[in-house]
Structure 1
Amino acid sequence: MIFIVWNCQGAASGSFKRTLRQFCRDFNPSLICLLEPKVSGNQANKICNSFGFDEWIRVEAVGFSGGIWILWKESISIEIVKTNPQFISVQVNDGDLGPWLLSLVYGSPCQYLKRKLFAELSSQSGDPLSSWLSVGDFNAIIGREEVSNPENFSSARCVDFNDWIFREGLIDLGYNGTKFTWMRGINSSTFRGARLDRALGNLDWKLKFSEATVSHLPMLSSDHCPLLINTGRDQTVSTCRSFKFNMAWTTHATFQALVHGTWNTESDLKINMRVLAGALKEWNVNTFGNIFYRKKRLLSRLKGIQQGLAIQPRPDLLKLERKLRHELEDTLYQEELLWFQRSKEEWIVSGDRNTRFYHAATSVKSKHDRIKVLKDDIGNTLSEEKQLMDHVLKYFVGLFSNEPNVCSQSLLQGAFPSLHASD
């Protein structure tokens, strides 16, 4: 099962809708949870209907704050267990693995209300549904390493959260991607970042879904990263396309000039069409480029920049991040036009269901821990399997070698008592 949990900070904008549809095309989630949509009533119902999911439920926003929406496909069985202004709990029937409890959380910034949230979530502990996963924006952190300004950190801010995690025996599922799930600031002096969003499971859930992964998707149309949770293996996405006139070409700044420069008013229509088609084909390769490749490249660059901002915010990175966001917005609009044209407008109504462009890998792997990334002695990141194996081998060869100073990590002085000759 693949699902997305996202504090979208407003669900009414065109930018949000375009971004969410893009995430749906890329990952084909069975369930989506939107936090802080800031929309209610009939307008919220229309937006929920527009995404084409089979079922959905909402907890209304209070004024322009809060609110939780859950949308899911009929391919999974969802039963509402409990609704609350700060969370919705549902029972998920996930095939042969049996039912489990999923709590989708939007924690209030108010400390008093946050304590009420933890108390309400804890009241579910006696439920016979033993496997429990809690995901969302808790508006809380567990330590100073999860904020961009640790010098201003106060441990009192995270005591309640840590106590609740300890009491319930919850395990942080970790993450792939940028360190912070929330970032804000227009320059390095005002930059702030924190890991406010996470997934926490109890031991039963972790044992049942030992291969589960959490990915922090690029931060688009919101100050929060969407969380992509995959309870199984990673999926692969493949696309194919054949040449034909692309409606998205018309959005490019040089398209009109190309048409005017190629079209000969003294030639007949067939010749002009053939010449223009050839010019467009060459222009598409050399100038316009592949929309999917450009999108992936922009997403990759944004991911890298946001990881860099989490380590050290710099004015040039902040400026580049805003520029790339605008470029990605244009690219997503161009891709939206492409899909609109290819599917004869049907995908807007169907919400991308039954599309032929996605493949989910659902084979089961053996249940064992896996090391994906390590750092060597000088801080370089190692991710290739051979690099990881060589590094581990070198470390333990050095650790158990008789030669002095082979191991890079020397023993701390004073850790053991000194022995005198008389002893």
Structure 2
Amino acid sequence: MVKDWINIHQPLFEAFLETHIHSSNAAKINDAILVVWKSFGNYEHHSSGQIIAVWDPSVSVFIYKATEQAVTYGVHILSENINLTVTFVYGFNVVGERQALWNELVEISDTPALQNSTWTVLRDFNKILRLAHHSGYPSHVVDSSGMQEANEALQDAGLFEAQAKGTPFTWSNNNDQDPVSKRIDHTLVNQIWADHFRDSYGDLLEPGQSDHSPCIVKLLTQPNSALAGKEYMERDKLNLLLNAEQKFFRHRSRVRWAVVGDRNTSLYHNT
């Protein structure tokens, strides 16, 4: 599945979050990605590899810093002579535990290497940044705990939301009876990035079988409007197929649940 995704979208680098792949089984990562690709996991800080960064060998990657909630590295795209600083994030679920992440982003922004570098911070923050990032707003009360602290830290780090296209929300609870959707995955950039890559944006794709939407950051250093139009037409077709597939698997899971009920089965414990 991962190999297929890479083959279809052809990113130069990516990160997989909350993999639950223990350090003793790290070799499984190489089985999941393309043979020639390289990888780095934050195993020194989390035994189950919360963040696994992978990249195509056509780009040079240098790991700057890895912690429990973030991996920051430099990327040199040889083909276009472009240098980037990228931070992939997987924020903890508890508000207080995410404070370390906010502090880290501010510290990174203050390093001399970042003063003149294009920098993007992306993926799963486990936190909405605005009330409108919750599907229940404004008709329902939205939990905003930790939102102010997050925005203050991002402002101190000189980060703001990049242009985004695609789905308005990036996570859903997949509950047909009480559906909730949120945008807790974000693509943030600094001002230098915005100045260098004026046409860049984060493309939020349909989640497929996951409860999160994958995001592809497109630099568009040489934008082509004709190709962009064709791409969106093909993506509409792809999204239609992905939605049909997702509905099929949901329906099949409900049918199976109706058959086995909540008896002491493996399905019950995994639901």
Give the number of equivalent residue pairs.
235
Q: Is the 8 A contact 1:53 1:71 kept in 2?
A: no
**Aligned sequence identity (%):** 23
Q: Distance in 1 between matches of 2:245 and 2:149?
A: 34
Deviation of 1:169 (Å): 2.2
Deviation of 1:324 (Å): 4.8
1:178 — aligned with what? 167
Q: Is the 8 A contact 1:97 1:208 kept in 2?
A: no
Q: Distance in 2 between matches of 1:101 and 1:297?
A: 31
Q: Residue 247 of structure 2 aligns to which amino acid in structure 1? A: K
CA distance change for structure 1 residues 145 and 41 in 2, over 3 Å: closer, same or farther? same
91-100 or 116-125: bigger deviation: 91-100
1:196 — aligned with what? 184
User: Which TM-score applies when normalising by structure 1?
Assistant: 0.51
Deviation of 1:119 (Å): 0.4
Deviation of 1:185 (Å): 3.0
Deviation of 1:154 (Å): 3.4
Deviation of 1:321 (Å): 7.1
**What CA RMSD, in Å, does the superposition of the two structures yield over aligned residues?**
2.7
CA distance change for structure 1 residues 73 and 323 in 2, over 3 Å: closer, same or farther? same
Report SS of the residue matched to 2:146.
helix
Q: Distance in 2 between matches of 1:71 and 1:53?
A: 11
Deviation of 1:62 (Å): 4.5
Q: Distance in 1 between matches of 2:21 and 2:215?
A: 21
Q: Distance in 2 between matches of 1:234 and 1:108?
A: 36
Report SS of the residue matched to 2:26.
helix
**Higher strand proportion, which one?**
2
1:153 counterpart = 2:77: no
User: Which TM-score applies when normalising by structure 2?
Assistant: 0.77
Q: Distance in 2 between matches of 1:117 and 1:296?
A: 34
1:69 counterpart = 2:52: yes
Report SS of the residue matched to 2:121.
strand
Deviation of 1:299 (Å): 2.8
CA distance change for structure 1 residues 114 and 234 in 2, over 3 Å: closer, same or farther? farther
Report SS of the residue matched to 1:48.
helix
Select which of 112, 120, 130 maps to 1:143.
130
Greater relative contact order: 1 or 2 (C-alpha under 8 angstroms, separation 6 or more)?
1
Q: Is the 8 A contact 1:172 1:200 kept in 2?
A: yes
2:42 — aligned with what? 59
Q: Stretches of 4+ moved more than 4 A in 1?
A: 61-64, 95-98, 233-237, 295-298, 324-327
**Higher helix proportion, which one?**
1
1:30 counterpart = 2:29: no
Structure 1 stretches lacking a partner, 5+ long:
1-17, 238-294, 306-319, 328-423
Q: Is the 8 A contact 1:218 1:302 kept in 2?
A: no
Select which of 93, 106, 113 maps to 1:109.
93
Q: Is the 8 A contact 2:201 2:217 kept in 1?
A: yes
CA radius of gyration, larger in? 1
